[in-house]
Structure 1
Amino acid sequence: MKTPKIILATLLLPLLFTSCFEDLDDNPISTLDINEFVYSGLDSYYLYKDSVPNLIEDKANSSNFSSYLNGFNSPESLFESLIYDRTNTDRFSWITDDYIALEQQFDGITKSNGMEFGLKRYTPGGNELYGVVRFILPNTSAETNGLQRGDLFNAVNGTQLTISNWRTLLGQNNYTLNFAEYNDNGTSGTNDDTIDATTNTVALSKIQYTENPVFKTEILQVEGENVGYLMYNGFVSNFNNALNSAFGAFQANNVQHLVLDLRYNPGGSVNTATLLGSLVTGSNTGQVFAKLKYNSQQQGNNFNYTFVDNNNGSTLNNLNLNKVYVLATGSSASASEMVINSLDAYIEVIQIGTQTVGKSQASITLYDSPDFTRSQPDPRHTYAMQPLVAITVNKNDDQVPAEGLNPLIEIEEQVNNYGVLGNVNEPLLAEALAHIAATNKVASTKKGKVSKTIFDSNDLLPHSKEMYIE
């Protein structure tokens, strides 16, 4: 059976058959019809179907199936009722009522003002938040207005950011950002440091934007040897050529070491993750990079991703390395973790930063079509689902722990010292370069205030932290 591309939709029925959704032909479709798609898709593909009583029971073949579906007042509520252990086990399955927008997101097309950020609490357990600019996308409102990495902000349109309002405020297409500043209060310690509001503001506007995930490359030198640095912010297959070209530059400069910066990379395509692993090594063509393991009903779809030696027929610019340095944080998820876990079975992976998200499951997009693929979807609606359908493991059957991957060298980004990405003095990169220069040597970076990031700009894209199967 052809495996569908990823999308998960949550569909819930109203109590009456008369409830309907507008379709693309102005012919209404009933909630019952969409709910039947939701149930059938999850019953076939959902990774945890054997742990969900209403899926184990196989209600689709029961006489009261319609009554069961009619017990839900929306497709979303039915979908959510079939998710296993939402809090701990399946935090990532989702449903959408607009698969066109979803497909654009998977292609790297979103609405953006160019400001990528992380949000932190003022006080542990507190409600109020402040933001730190992580990086600025080129040719955007944020770049035009001079925003820089490390800038602080605390409000939008004069309203303080909080746990409950930040998505609404920062999700607007147009808004005024209120800046804040770091105050060390004249002491050398950080315990009394504060984030203070200022009167400075900037107006930002979002446009439809296609982001190149190959954000920055550098050729650095350590002890007379060349070090390649790549900041890679998303596994988007449309930019595989750009990724291969970046490694071409590393290859041309004879880099002996590689620092792969995935600190803000939320995941993406499994195929692209396999390509990246192949670019790092180069000597394992045909060997297992990662395995996908499906539910009991879809065992025929179990699949091994193997190291490759070409990019759609083009020569692969692999580096043949036996060690790689990976910068990762609590914003590194799914395909980023897959790369770390899969490469670790073959070469030495030096992980630097903080604990990652902990997502080893992969998803596919299920459409309302005869075989759940993109071919001939029901034209009367644009619902789709992106359920978890498989577990990813490395060649040794090791999976990413639910609590995330722990770094070998732990270092957090410092609010008052974010540094310049790709610069030898940026704290996380400096730590990697110090380790390259002399194993276990500690970088002499300025000590600063650290605070856990609890949300980031990727969280405005509801399905960004996904690892999906194409």
Structure 2
Amino acid sequence: MKYLKISTLLLCFIAFSCSKNDDNAVANNPDSTPPATPTPVVKSVADYPVQDFMWKAMNTYYFWQSDVSDLADTKDDVTSDYVDFLSKESNPADFFFKLCNQHIDIVGEAAAIDRFSFLRENYKDLVNGFAGISKTNGVRFGTATYGPTNNDVFGFVRYIIPGSNADGKDIKRGDIFTAVNGIDLTLDNYIDLLGNSGSETYTLNFADLVDNTIVPNGRELSLTKESGTQRDPIFINKIIEQNGLKIGYFMYNQFISEYNEQLNEVFETFKAANIDELILDLRYNPGGATDSALQMASSIYSTDTSQLFAKDRTNSKLANTFWASSFYFVDETSNGTPINSLNLNRVYVITTGSTASASEFLINGLNPYMDVIQIGDATAGKNEFSFTLVDDAAYDFLYNPDRESNINPKNQWGIQPILGRAQNAAGFEDYTAGLIPDKPIIEDIANMGILGDPSERLLNFTLNEISATSSKTNFDAVFPANIINSTEEMEYPDGMMSLNGLINPKSISDNK
């Protein structure tokens, strides 16, 4: 105990001495001062360029702007409050979806109001997608569930993009695959394995249908996604002669403005042949540019520019700001070439659940004017349009390829929010459940056939409708499937209907 007391006293003495010496050192050295208290860092709007761009663009353009409290015009009245609001969500994608009106990514499908607004971290991915350029191995497929619990997933090839990595390899329409890199596809993993976030190179593991059962067959194929793969939307155009009729068949897989001249040339061929009927195959068309859809409608029906094709419904800020808040049939392409019009009073359109957006815009717009006989399955029900917005405030955030140098280099995000809905000349716009076919029939995964061949199931059915003859073909589906997704929906899960060439930035500025 005595030792403990002495030690304690010694420690106290040492501590006192050190403290005293430190005080003397500070007193004898006037340059030695205590560290200053850090100055609080004051954040400004400039510290959040992505969120600021997204808010301002959404405040101006978003269809449901008045229904979202965070998009109120007074939100940025007090700078400090606005900065605090911008800083609360560091992830730009999460910030964007929270600005939307009950977005499907936030509230789920059942409660969603906004199902289709989307974005990309690099605006060029948006632009390239609408131009038909993507990173892909060229296999366009659908996916469906099977098995006792419907949790297992298989893919089936719809077509191969010419010139792609898969072109010329041992893979074709109708092939079935059940695994990637040996990993069985399920509802939980198939998007990760096959979608944009998956590996650039992967191996598909194939299967056969045996007695309506999917059985792995041991065959496999390695494929690589390649940047800059161009998808020519004009997939098949031909003339089929049947029972004395000349029938034009046109499979068109995306509405792309860059192909408007080629689109016009297809109808020039049909016009020169003086076709009697037209079959427009949009079964795999996810949409795209509305100016292309408007041109196609004019090529099919009329170039009478006094006839209303569709009209838009936007938020109050955008009222009367578009070049064409009412869209009329056109008589020339976007390059000024006279449009070749067939002036038909009837058209047959083949559709599936992958027929979406601008494809539905075309069908709905033609319906008041001509007999549109829809054959196939119900369409996707994407009745809203959008436009690519980027951080170019001087141009009202509208993407313009000639102004890429003006886009904020610190912010390359591109957003594609819903701007409004399109009504046809009769005022109809409510097809969120899809456009319902007049003659329902689905593809048979057990017998996909060859696209463009008159014996292919959906085309054969349509040709029989035109001829009004009964066929010996059995159209009962041998292997109907619960289709859940497709390549197009994985690449652009929120739809494709862009008002390319139909927005006037100057009039928007003047209206503010």
Which residue pairs with 2:474 in the alignment? 445
Give the one of 166, 181, 184 matched to 1:160. Answer: 184
CA distance in 1, matches of 2:379, 2:410: 40
- What is the deviation of 1:62? 3.5
1:355 — aligned with what? 378
Find the counterpart in structure 1 of residue 457 from structure 2.
Answer: 427
Question: 1:269 aligns to what?
Answer: 289
Does 2:347 correspond to 1:331?
A: no
Query: CA separation in 2, counterparts of 1:203 and 1:65?
Result: 51
Question: Which amino acid in 2 is paired with 1:423?
Answer: D
The CA deviation at 1:57 is: 6.2
Are positions 1:381 and 2:411 aligned together?
yes
Report the Cα distance in structure 2 between the residues aligned to 1:235 and 1:163, rounded to whole angstroms.
Answer: 30
1:104-157 deviations in whole A, cap 9, x for unaligned?
222111112111000000147622100110011112222221311111111111
Partner Cα distance (1:442, 1:46) in 2? 50
Task: Give 2:289's aligned amino acid.
Answer: S
Pick from 256, 263, 268 the counterpart of residue 243 of structure 1.
263
Residue 55 (structure 1) aligns with: 71
Structure 2 counterpart of 1:194: 213
Is the 2:115–2:494 contact (alpha carbons within 8 Å) kept by the matching residues of 1?
Answer: no
Determine helix, strand or coil for the equivalent of 1:38: helix
Q: Secondary structure at the match of 1:340?
A: helix
What are the superposed Cα offsets for residues 187-237 of structure 1, whole Å, 9 maximum, x if unpaired? xxxxxx211111011111222211100001121122210001111000001
Change (3 A) 1:355 1:199: same
8 Å CA contact 2:303–2:339 kept in 1: the answer is no
List structure 1 runs of 4+ shifted beyond 6 angstroms: 16-20
CA contact (8 A) 1:435 1:442 kept: no
* Paired letter, 1:66: V
Query: What is the rounded CA distance, in whole Å, between the counterparts of 1:62 and 1:173 in structure 2?
Result: 47
Higher RCO (CA 8 Å, separation ≥ 6 residues): 1
Shift of 1:343: 0.4
AA of the residue aligned to 1:102: L
Question: Residue 400 of structure 1: CA displacement?
Answer: 4.3
- Asked if structure 2 preserves the Cα contact closer than 8 Å seen for 1:267 and 1:464, the reply is no
Structure 1: distance between partners of 2:191 and 2:413: 23
Equivalent residue of 1:259, what SS? strand
| Distance (Å, rounded) in 2 between the aligned partners of 1:437 and 1:140 | 37
For 2:246, the equivalent position in structure 1 comes to 226
2:58 matches 1:42: yes
8 Å contact kept, 2:376–2:437: yes
Q: Residues of 2 paired with 1:235 and 1:66: CA distance?
A: 40
Residue in 2 that maps onto 1:9: none
Tell me what 2:437 maps to: 407
The 1-side partners of 2:435 and 2:225 are apart by 34
> Structure 2 vs 1, CA of residues 353 and 58 (structure 1 numbering), >3 Å: closer, same or farther?
farther
Could you tell me which residue of structure 1 aligns to residue 328 of structure 2? Answer: 306
Gapped runs of 5+ residues in structure 1? 1-15, 21-28, 185-192
CA distance in 1 between counterparts of 2:439 and 2:411 reads: 49
SS at match of 2:113: coil
Q: Which stretch shifts more, 332-341 or 400-409? A: 400-409
Q: Which amino acid aligns with 1:58?
A: T
Letter of the structure 1 residue corresponding to residue 269 of structure 2: A
User: Is the contact between residue 325 and residue 349 of structure 1 (CA under 8 Å) also seen in structure 2?
Assistant: yes
The superposition leaves residues 30-69 of structure 1 with CA deviations (integer Å, 9 ceiling, x where unpaired) of 3x22211111111111001121122236312245111122
Secondary structure, aligned partner of 1:301: coil
The CA deviation string for residues 275-307 of structure 1, in whole angstroms up to 9 with x for no partner, is 110111125333111212210121122512211
Q: 1:255 to 1:138 in 2, by over 3 A?
A: same
The 5 A counterparts of 1:286-325 are: 286-302=306-322, 303-311=325-333, 312-325=335-348
Residues 315-347 of structure 1 show CA distances to partners (whole Å, capped at 9, x for unaligned) of 322111100000011001100000110000100
Matched with 2:126 is 102
Contact 2:252/2:282, CA 8 A, preserved across alignment = yes
2:109 is aligned with 1:84: no
Range with greater deviation from structure 2 (162-171 or 360-369): 162-171
- What is the distance in 2 between the residues matched to 1:430 and 1:264? 17
> Does 2:397 correspond to 1:372?
yes
Asked whether the equivalents of residues 431 and 443 of structure 1 are also in contact (C-alpha less than 8 Å), the reply is no
CA contact (8 A) 2:345 2:371 kept: yes
Counterpart check, 1:252 vs 2:234: no
Determine which of 456, 466, 476 is the counterpart of 1:436: 466
* Structure 1 equivalent of residue 27 of structure 2: none
2:170–2:221 Cα contact (<8 Å) kept: no
Task: Write out per-residue CA displacement over residues 166-186 of structure 1, whole angstroms, 9 at most, x where no aligned residue.
Answer: 2222242211111110111xx
Q: Is the 8 A contact 2:377 2:437 kept in 1?
A: yes
Distance 1:337 1:81, change over 3 A: same
Q: Is residue 111–residue 209 contact of structure 1 (8 Å, CA) maintained in 2?
A: yes
- The higher radius of gyration belongs to 2
Give secondary structure in 1 for the equivalent of 2:484: strand
Q: What is the one-letter code of the residue matched to 2:375? A: I
Q: Specify which structure has the higher proportion of helix.
A: 2
2 CA distance for matches of 1:204 and 1:336? 30
SS at match of 2:247: strand
